[in-house]
């Protein structure tokens, strides 16, 4: 077997990953999930999350069917089936991850109570690992099979693009629907519970608490899983597409086109292997401080990947520049993550907290300013990564550096997904009164989860930018565009249209959170009013959390449709109306403002969140002080910023690019509508 | 005299405009400025504003000298002197406008008290007209003389670009310095006065009140004057530059290059004449409702301009498409203004106000969402204007449509500048106790001023976008760039760098307001603490407002340096480091995010402001209610949004473009530094 034919192993390696995830799941299920109380909560959260997913998918099925028919009729049938496969794989990955996470929550809480921090870390980490491995494995299986079918011939490789579009479409809706739901439930439960009724967070009397816990799962597990899944397959497919249209002059050292095309798949295969090392390092490093372990597990995966990439690059006979492009992507990814960590838990957070002394307005101003400022270094990082990758390996380098960043997704996603599991476990500990020691352990692990989430978000934005650029390059080649010239005003008009889309989507999603939260508030108020004895905490009087879950679900899903369609339709409308060059401008405009808004909103939101926590730790007057109240305002604004609108941007820029890539063959020789009218 | 040689009259027409402004000023000065109290206040505000200007210019003189030397040594001596002239003209225009406005304030207050609304409107309107006419006339004189010297030969026309760069540089610093000052003084005076000491706004005991009044003048008069001045000359010079490099094929119907080059100057000459009609329509329409009069005076100027443009276009033998480009610019300018009016005083304002019922966080979220949403229609308008202008008259059309929008600046700027005059007059009426009737008149005119200011801001953003695009086109031609190809990653890197600059400048200016406001707060607190009897209002105990003015001045000017240098240096660094194509990307990136941020910040700020006012009118609980407090938080955040950071964006995008245009001859045949290193 040669290095190039090694790609045929990819679906089987993916299967190995899936089986591993299954084994971890069986181990997890065998752990005790405690007394009736935690078992009941687990069931309720699990049911709520599954109800959400089912409802979401039952809406998306119409969308998927419609797009399938359109692609089938106007593009080709292979692409339409690839689209279907991409959508299905994304859904399956989300479903598996959600199942695992909603089973790990109670077990983490019990482990924290019965066995302490180390065991709680292990359970929650494994809960996340199932998600991480599923995303990586299913992606590998899907892309691997399609590559086997179509990848042999550069002509048919374009069909694989449909897979990325399927994954992207589901990701956008899942991210938005989940993001709206989680924040609406959070804000709604807090507003009536903490502010109006004066009962603590996660109090069992509050009918919104379950919805809040469900929200952590649908937003941070299913939503993020779909997000990362699409980045992962998007970067691989973009790089394959770039390789498929490479001309001999761009391939020095006599390396074959097949080698260039196989490279991204081999890198993610290596990435999955590297992730095994990262994840199972818990066996030897489980006694470390949790913070160090989480960090080292990621580093181990990155180190293994670097070694394997070097071997692959050599084995395929590709120039060494490609290896350096991968390294530069990884280094810049970590750099962007560290910058995000600085802005969301370093000195800027204390500055915001200090500003609470002059009230909520100065908390807002300083947070917004810090969010805007935080764009500078990551953008510089993206520029440097793009520059290095391009200089050492041409436009192909940009694609492969994104693949490098995302290939260890099995390990990085594990760390991301562990956060919501411990967050849920903490809620369970509170509601079932598992004692202050248990709560302390889950709180400690949760705080850690927030920091790793901030780093993960930075990483996600960096990889999204590079993936979008790679997709952009793939689009220009697929549409047979020789140049997208900025001196052509039609390109500038396209760029303006693209630039405004992220602002509009951000506005719509933020408004959606407000509307859905209001629906929750009304329902919680109604229950407190109409269920006698509930607020007073009479024994055996229970709230009706299912109603809250149902209302938040319906409202969130209704609100996700408009911004979702905006993302999907923009490239189609611009392409048909103004032509393929103008659409190139749209892609760039959307990527530029999308990346800025993602950084701005994620970092501002994270900084506000931690400024509030910093005060709650007893600084500047502590919980309940006027300063705390001011900081809570910042946190409330930050919630939709960092968990709804901000993360949506990542997917938006990739979706717009991938839709363009798929419709490129149609646009290639089409006369734009405006030219028909004005000629 | 032919139509083409008519341009030689332009400096003389400018002189006529200036003399008219002088006559209005003499009439204004002859009006009564009331009792000792208002006279004293007038002196203090006048002195404070002049002190600010002198300090500002004494800092800028170093900057001007340094840039002069650099241009002299590295570009050419003609451009360096044109730069000097542009800076000087901007300074003179600001100085004249400031003198007029600070003399009109007390006279408006007295007119309101003694003669009623009609006379108060007239005085304040004339106060603004002096500024409007000065800006238009000085621009006409400056560009006219340079055109006489260099415009005859397309080869030497490039020297005129220096004039635009001089005007732009001063504008950026004036807008930022003034914007930081005005909001620091406003926030500082309110925070200690209204919130801490519990005394009303504009109370004579508050030592910050004078600084607040000074701020209205340095921000809204001098800052805005410099802003509009540079848009005005920028659009004309960009269009001349585009015409200078036009090739015969781009000139149908045998029209001469001289005609294309003369056109923009003739249009602003027509604009000045049209402005006379607009301004002096007060003679016949002075009895109308103020709101209608202000609107009609602008429409009259626009109508006269359209007629004259048609005649000029015909007279020069230019294709009629150019006339339509001017019309499309005007129509879209008015459209963008109306959209701004909708978002800052229509239903969205009530939505924000309604959100105050659930506290400051929801006020913030809804305001931010509305600001983001408000980008969509104006951007669509900019796209349509660009499209129409391009289709009917090529890239030249984009430039001339911006000229059309800005040519009636004499009339539009009058309406803009009248706002701060009545705002000041209202403060004087309060401090000197001129009675509730007087205050009612000034408040009524002030509210009107806020609406017209919102429309003016929309107009300013639209024209800035078109001017930036025109300057961009001029740059590509001056640097002899055949295409700025987005498929070249270096261009994309440039675009990312350009896109992040507005975010960074916004962050810096917002932080600057906070820092300067804090310096003010400290000083006001000190005075309340150390001057016995001040807070109690003992007779003959007076605060020391000069100290507040001095502190706010020093702080604001210190804070403007960094963001100002960032704007000036970015194109130079990118051009030298990454090359002229990458710089083209930077211009586009900066324009895209700059326009979005300008719309987002200006409209969100305006909407928050009016939501607060809506509640103060007695809705939703009225002044002093919890809802009002929540709305005040929005307003406080909105202040730096709409008066500091937002307006700075307009200038920033033009400055970056005009600096690029000036250094284009140097970049033309230069090897970028990175290419030297990596080759």
Picking from B372, B483, B514, the nearest residue to A503 by CB comes out as B372
CA distances from A573 to A576, A673, A677, B422 (A): 5, 10, 15, 48
Residues of A in contact with B474 (CB under 8 A): none
Residues of B in contact with A588 (CB under 8 A): 486, 492, 495
Picking from A483, A503, A637, the nearest residue to B483 by CB comes out as A483
Please indicate whether residue B201 or residue A576 has the higher confidence score (pLDDT).
Answer: A576
**Do B383 and A490 lie within an 8 Å CB cutoff?**
no
d(CA B638, CA A361): 9
pLDDT of residue A18: 96
d(CA A421, CA A416): 10
CA distance A455 to chain B (A): 21
Residues of B in contact with A358 (CB under 8 A): 191
**Do B492 and A362 lie within an 8 Å CB cutoff?**
no
Residues of A in contact with B362 (CB under 8 A): 514, 636
Residues of A in contact with B637 (CB under 8 A): 361, 364-365, 368
Q: Which residues contact A289 (CB under 8 A, 6 or more apart)?
A: none
Tell me the CB-side half-sphere exposure of residue B64, using CA atoms within 13 A. 27
Residues of B in contact with A366 (CB under 8 A): 511, 514
pLDDT of residue B152: 79
**Do A373 and B507 lie within an 8 Å CB cutoff?**
yes
**Do B491 and A489 lie within an 8 Å CB cutoff?**
no
d(CA B255, CA B423): 50
Please indicate whether residue B627 or residue A539 has the higher confidence score (pLDDT).
Answer: B627
- Return the ∠ at Cα B8 (arms to B4 and B10), rounded to 5°: 110
Percent of chain A with pLDDT over 90: 57
pLDDT at A252 over 70: no
Residues of B in contact with A370 (CB under 8 A): 507
CA distance B237 to chain A (A): 18
pLDDT at B219 over 90: no
3-state helix, strand, coil in chain A (%, to 5): 85, 0, 15
Please indicate whether residue B220 or residue B309 has the higher confidence score (pLDDT).
Answer: B309
- In terms of CA atoms, which chain A residue is nearest residue B641? A365
pLDDT of residue B367: 96
pLDDT of residue B412: 87
Q: Which residues contact A195 (CB under 8 A, 6 or more apart)?
A: none
Average pLDDT (A50-68) is: 91
Report pTM. 0.94
Picking from B472, B473, B633, the nearest residue to A361 by CB comes out as B633
- Cα–chain center distance at B279: 20
CA distance B481 to chain A (A): 9
Q: Which residues contact A633 (CB under 8 A, 6 or more apart)?
A: A360, A363, A364, B359, B360, B361, B364, B633
Sequence-ordered alpha helix ranges (H) in A218-287: 224-244, 257-280, 282-285
Q: What does the pLDDT look like over A134-157, one tens digit per residue?
A: 999 999 999 999 999 998 788 888
d(CA A426, CA A100): 17
Residues of B in contact with A503 (CB under 8 A): 372-373, 375-376, 596, 600
Average pLDDT (A531-539) is: 84
pLDDT of residue B611: 94
pLDDT at A573 over 90: yes
Q: What does the pLDDT look like over A588-616, one tens digit per residue?
A: 999 999 999 999 999 999 999 999 989 98
Preferred mutation among A188, A368, A402, A626 to probe B, highest tally of B CBs within 10 A: A368
Average pLDDT (A387-403) is: 93
The number of C-beta contacts closer than 8 angstroms across A and B is 221
The β-bridge partners of B485 are: A485
Q: What does the pLDDT look like over B6-18, one tens digit per residue?
A: 999 999 999 999 9
CA distance A360 to chain B (A): 7
The β-bridge partners of A614 are: none
Which of A46, A42, A56 has its CA nearest to residue A555?
A56
Preferred mutation among A364, A397, A402, A583 to probe B, highest tally of B CBs within 10 A: A364
Residues of B in contact with A481 (CB under 8 A): 487
CA distance B633 to chain A (A): 5
Contact A159, A78 (CB under 8 A): yes
d(CA B167, CA B94): 11
pLDDT of residue B253: 64
CA distance A422 to chain B (A): 27
Average pLDDT (B232-241) is: 93
Q: Read off the pLDDT band of B123 (50, 70, 90).
A: very high
Contact A282, A247 (CB under 8 A): no
pLDDT of residue B443: 86
Average pLDDT (B633-661) is: 92
pLDDT of residue A253: 64
pLDDT of residue A677: 87
Which of B85, B117, B77, B132 has its CA nearest to residue B407?
B132
Contact A524, A206 (CB under 8 A): yes
Which of B233, B174, B585 has its CA nearest to residue B399?
B233
Residues of A in contact with B376 (CB under 8 A): 500, 503-504
Complex ipTM, two decimals? 0.94
Picking from B362, B386, B511, the nearest residue to A514 by CB comes out as B362
Residues of B in contact with A507 (CB under 8 A): 369-373
Picking from B487, B600, B632, the nearest residue to A473 by CB comes out as B487
Average pLDDT (B63-92) is: 94
**Do B514 and A362 lie within an 8 Å CB cutoff?**
yes
Under DSSP, is residue B485 helix (H, G, I), strand (E, B) or coil?
strand
Residues of A in contact with B481 (CB under 8 A): 487
Picking from A358, A364, A510, the nearest residue to B637 by CB comes out as A364
Under DSSP, is residue A485 helix (H, G, I), strand (E, B) or coil?
strand
Out of A248-262, B536-550, B590-604, B609-623, the most confident range is B590-604
H/E run at residue B121: helix B117-150
Q: What is the mean pLDDT of chain A?
A: 90
CA distance B424 to chain A (A): 25
- B376, with CB counted inside 10 A (0-12, 13-18, 19+), is middle
Average pLDDT (B76-82) is: 94
pLDDT of residue A34: 85
Q: Which residues contact B661 (CB under 8 A, 6 or more apart)?
A: B161, B164, B165, B238, B241, B471, B474, B475, B478
Q: Read off the pLDDT band of A10 (50, 70, 90).
A: very high
3-state helix, strand, coil in chain B (%, to 5): 85, 0, 15
CA distance B589 to chain A (A): 7
Average pLDDT (A418-447) is: 88
- In terms of CA atoms, which chain B residue is nearest residue A493? B383
Please indicate whether residue A669 or residue B679 has the higher confidence score (pLDDT).
Answer: A669
- In terms of CA atoms, which chain A residue is nearest residue B632? A361
- B287, with CB counted inside 10 A (0-12, 13-18, 19+), is exposed
Residues of A in contact with B373 (CB under 8 A): 503-504, 507-508, 511
Residues of B in contact with A492 (CB under 8 A): 386, 469, 472, 588
- A494, with CB counted inside 10 A (0-12, 13-18, 19+), is buried
**Do A596 and B398 lie within an 8 Å CB cutoff?**
no
**Do B507 and A473 lie within an 8 Å CB cutoff?**
no
Average pLDDT (B103-126) is: 92
- In terms of CA atoms, which chain B residue is nearest residue A196? B358
CA distances from B606 to B462, B602, B643 (A): 17, 6, 9
Average pLDDT (B297-318) is: 93
pLDDT of residue B252: 66
- In terms of CA atoms, which chain A residue is nearest residue B494? A383
Contact B467, B661 (CB under 8 A): no
CA distance A590 to chain B (A): 10
**Do A372 and B503 lie within an 8 Å CB cutoff?**
yes
**Do B364 and A486 lie within an 8 Å CB cutoff?**
no
**Do B362 and A513 lie within an 8 Å CB cutoff?**
no
**Do B596 and A503 lie within an 8 Å CB cutoff?**
yes
Picking from B358, B380, B486, the nearest residue to A191 by CB comes out as B358
d(CA A537, CA A381): 54
Under DSSP, is residue A475 helix (H, G, I), strand (E, B) or coil?
helix
Residue-level length of chain B: 679
């Amino acid at each position: 077997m040669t290095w190039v034919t090694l790609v045929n192993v990819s679906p089987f390696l993916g299967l190995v990953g899936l089986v591993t995830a299954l084994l971890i799941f069986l181990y997890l299920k065998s752990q005790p999930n405690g007394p009736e109380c935690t078992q009941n909560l687990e069931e309720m959260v699990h049911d709520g999350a599954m109800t959400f997913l089912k409802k979401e998918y039952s809406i998306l099925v119409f969308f998927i069917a419609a797009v399938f028919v359109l692609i089938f009729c106007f593009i080709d049938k292979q692409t339409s089936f690839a689209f279907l496969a991409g959508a299905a794989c994304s859904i399956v990955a989300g479903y598996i991850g959600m199942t695992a996470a909603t089973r790990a929550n109670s077990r983490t809480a019990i482990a924290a109570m019965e066995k302490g921090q180390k065991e709680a870390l292990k359970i929650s980490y494994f809960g996340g690992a199932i998600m991480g491995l599923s995303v990586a494995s299913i992606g590998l299986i899907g892309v691997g099979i399609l590559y086997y079918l179509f990848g042999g011939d550069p002509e048919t490789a374009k069909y694989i693009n449909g897979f990325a579009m399927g994954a992207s479409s589901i990701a956008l809706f899942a991210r938005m629907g989940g993001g709206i739901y989680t924040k609406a439930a959070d804000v709604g439960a807090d507003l009536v519970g903490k502010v109006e009724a004066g009962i603590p967070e996660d109090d069992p009397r509050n009918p919104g608490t379950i919805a809040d816990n469900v929200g952590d799962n649908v937003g941070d597990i299913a939503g993020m899983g779909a997000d990362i899944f699409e980045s992962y397959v998007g970067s691989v497919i973009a790089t394959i597409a770039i390789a498929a249209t490479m001309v001999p002059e761009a391939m020095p050292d006599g390396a074959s086109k097949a080698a260039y095309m196989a490279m991204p798949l081999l890198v993610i295969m290596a990435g999955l292997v590297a992730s095994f090392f990262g994840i199972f390092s818990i066996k030897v490093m489980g006694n470390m401080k949790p913070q160090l372990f989480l960090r080292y597990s990621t580093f181990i995966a990155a180190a293994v990947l670097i070694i394997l990439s070097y071997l692959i690059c050599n084995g395929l006979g590709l120039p060494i520049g490609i290896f350096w492009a991968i390294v530069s992507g990884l280094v810049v990814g970590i750099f962007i993550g560290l910058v995000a960590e600085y802005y969301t838990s370093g000195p800027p957070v204390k500055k915001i907290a200090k500003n609470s002394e002059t009230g909520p307005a100065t908390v807002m101003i300083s947070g917004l300013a810090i969010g805007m400022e935080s764009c500078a270094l990551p953008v510089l990082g993206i520029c440097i990564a793009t520059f290095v990758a391009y200089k050492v390996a041409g436009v192909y380098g940009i694609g492969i550096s994104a693949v490098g960043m995302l290939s260890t997704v099995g390990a990085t996603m594990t760390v991301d997904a562990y956060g919501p599991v411990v967050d849920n476990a903490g809620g369970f500990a509170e509601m079932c009164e598992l004692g202050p020691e248990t709560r302390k352990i889950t709180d400690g692990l949760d705080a850690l989860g927030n920091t790793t989430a901030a780093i993960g978000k930075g990483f996600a934005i960096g990889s999204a930018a590079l993936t979008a650029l790679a997709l952009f390059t793939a689009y220009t080649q697929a549409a047979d565009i020789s140049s997208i010239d900025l001196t052509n005003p039609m390109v500038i008009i396209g760029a303006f249209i693209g630039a405004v889309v992220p602002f509009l989507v951000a506005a719509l999603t933020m408004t959606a959170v407000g509307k859905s939260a209001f629906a929750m508030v009304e329902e919680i108020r109604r229950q407190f009013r109409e269920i006698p004895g509930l607020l007073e905490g009479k024994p055996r009087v229970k709230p009706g959390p299912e109603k809250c879950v149902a209302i938040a679900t319906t409202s969130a899903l209704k609100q996700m449709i408009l911004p979702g369609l905006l993302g999907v339709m923009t490239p189609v409308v611009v392409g048909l109306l103004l032509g393929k060059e103008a659409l190139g401008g749209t892609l760039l405009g959307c990527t530029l403002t999308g990346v800025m808004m993602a950084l701005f909103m994620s970092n501002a939101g994270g900084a506000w969140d931690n400024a509030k926590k910093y005060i709650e730790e007893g600084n500047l007057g502590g919980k309940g002080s006027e300063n705390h109240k001011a900081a809570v305002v910042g946190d409330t604004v930050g919630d939709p910023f960092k968990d709804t609108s901000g993360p949506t941007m990542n997917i938006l820029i990739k979706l717009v690019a991938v839709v363009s890539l798929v419709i490129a063959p149609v646009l290639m020789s089409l006369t734009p509508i405006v030219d028909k009218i004005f000629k």
